[in-house]
Amino acid sequence: MDAAPGAAGCGGRWCVVTGGRGFAARHLVLMLLRSGEWRVRVADLSPAIALDRDEEEGILGAALREGQAVYASADLRDKAQVANAFEGAEVVFHMAAPDSSINNFHLHYSVNVEGTKNVIDACIRCKVKRLIYTSSPSVVFDGVHGIFNADESMPYPDKFNDSYSETKADAEKLVIRANGRDGLLTCCIRPSSIFGPGDKLLVPSLVAAARAGKSKYIIGDGNNYYDFTYVENVAYGHVCADKTLSSEDGAKRAAGKAYFITNVEPIKFWEFMSLILEGLGYKRPSIKIPVSVMMPVAHVVELTYKTFCKYGMKVPQLTPSRIRLLSCNRTFSCSRAKDQLGYEPIVSLKDGLKRTIESYSHLQAQNQRSVSKASILLGNGNIAKTLLWEDTKQTMTVLLLLAVIYYQLFTCGYTIITAMAKLFSLTALFLFIHGLLPANVFGHKIEKLEPSNFHISQMEAHHVACSVRSSWNSLVGMLKSLCRGNDWPLFFKVVFFLLIVSILSSMSSQAAFKIGIPLIFIGFKAYEKFEDTIDSLVGDACSFILQFGPTQNSSRPKQT
């Protein structure tokens, strides 16, 4: 394949990006083109390149039209296609790999191992000077033990978490051993947990889970730390590796080595997920499920998939390897990359998250009312959160407290003063025993109650006041509407509500408590969920009743 004439930059300096239409590879292609130092050959499986609209109008589209970039259709498992794509290239960025979520050993071995052998052979045949291989931190993960701030001295495990990790490790070994063969210099980059615009796995999967109501769960205790890496930092790490290998001194210190690349900002895995979900308008995960509970389920799911995959069953999300990845620490040191490659993140984690969330505006929560009528009626504060089940933990705590109050006030037959005294005594006893317990009991962590938990901050007091004010203003607004005499649906709602109150008030305190509390918690939630349907039914009922009454203004003399 000949270089297109008339290209800008450094004449005939060609580089190749395998898997060039993949997530991280697209960003590397753009970075190489922006530098003006390279003409880029984008190699991938498809027979021809199909650009998105923004690509057509952007740097890549212009580069393809001007000859600064060309597309090469190449299957890594075909030696002739790989060699043809590499012809005349000075450096190859080998980024192609199958989807890591598909645990198919034959697929991963054929592409990651056999395909990498073909890449190395083609580099030597075409006299490529440098080969930068995109590896993975999973090559040092055994699927059992967490990793905290590991450096490149960490050995490969005896057993890998999945076939993807195992074959990536095999490919990495091949690339490192190929260093120095016929003048070829090699280097391996291990980017940790890549995220950013254009990702078709992490964010879409999160949103799909959120829309299916499955994003509320945390696997494990939620305290496991991860190193996430913004995609432009991954691309920059590859560029740093190539620049280092292109100098004599750099080649001496970096050739034949592997490097971890991260954002150098470890963060709790579930906090990272929560920030993305909240940024897109979804609720953050809050319900913790122990790994010991999830793992047997995951094994059953995986066994079912292995049995029925030949009949077209889709790859499940819930697998043992996925559970391990979601619940353990995975952080890595970038010291070697910093010292030997000159790598430093060029985009912070905060900015990377912001750019990522903005790029997925089309996946934001759809058809979500910013504030429901039920929430407005309840003041948009903690009362609304509790009665509308927006904070499940808070709602369950209040229900438990109400159950204790019911037992103390009604079941035991105490007077109010005696019941309150016993309630406070039980609370004091609980706090005393809880304070005596050690931080860890039989492997279970005991979260201690801090004194600050019992203080009401100025902000919290302000929120309570705002909630009361909002509820009062809502009631005043309803009163104004009733005084105008033209809001029949509201009138019937108020009449219905007052009817319920009058029925409850005619009962004994015990019966009113037993019926009224569940009715409040269920009623407001039901109204929020079926708000449009209820309003429509009330409106239809009003219209039906009013059609039998006097027509508007029929009894009034006409004004002249």
Question: What number of helices (H) and strands (E) belong to the chain?
Answer: 23, 17
What is the CB-side half-sphere exposure of residue 109 using CA atoms within 13 A? 5
Catalytic residue, chosen from 117, 168, 257, 385, is: 168
Burial 16-52 (b: 16+ CB within 10 A, else e): bbbbbbbbbbbbbbbbbbeeeebbbbbbbeeeebeee
**pLDDT at residue 4 in the model:** 37
**Residue 499 pLDDT greater than 70, yes or no:** yes
Q: Of the ranges 350-354, 370-374, 412-416, which one carries the lowest mean pLDDT score?
A: 370-374
168: annotated active-site residue: yes
- Measured CA to CA, the distance from residue 454 to residue 431 in angstroms comes to 12
**Residue 156 pLDDT greater than 70, yes or no:** yes
Tokens of 296: 């047997």
**pLDDT at residue 86 in the model:** 97
Q: What number is the average pLDDT over the span 461-477?
A: 69
- Measured CA to CA, the distance from residue 166 to residue 132 in angstroms comes to 19
**Residue 447 pLDDT greater than 70, yes or no:** no
**pLDDT at residue 549 in the model:** 52
**Residue 553 pLDDT greater than 60, yes or no:** no
Q: Set out the domains of the chain in order of their start, with CATH numbers.
A: 14-195+220-264+329-353 (3.40.50.720), 373-413+450-546 (no CATH)
**pLDDT at residue 143 in the model:** 85
Is the CB of residue 123 less than 8 Å from the CB of residue 85? no
pLDDT 10s digits, 206-252:
998 888 777 888 999 999 999 999 999 999 999 999 999 999 999 99
pLDDT 10s digits, 8-60:
344 569 999 999 999 999 999 999 999 999 999 999 999 999 998 889 999 99
| DSSP codes, 298-339 | HHHHHHHHHHHGGGTPPPPS--HHHHHHHHS-EEE--HHIII
**Residue 528 pLDDT greater than 50, yes or no:** yes
Is the pTM value of this prediction over 0.75? no
Is the CB of residue 75 less than 8 Å from the CB of residue 69? no
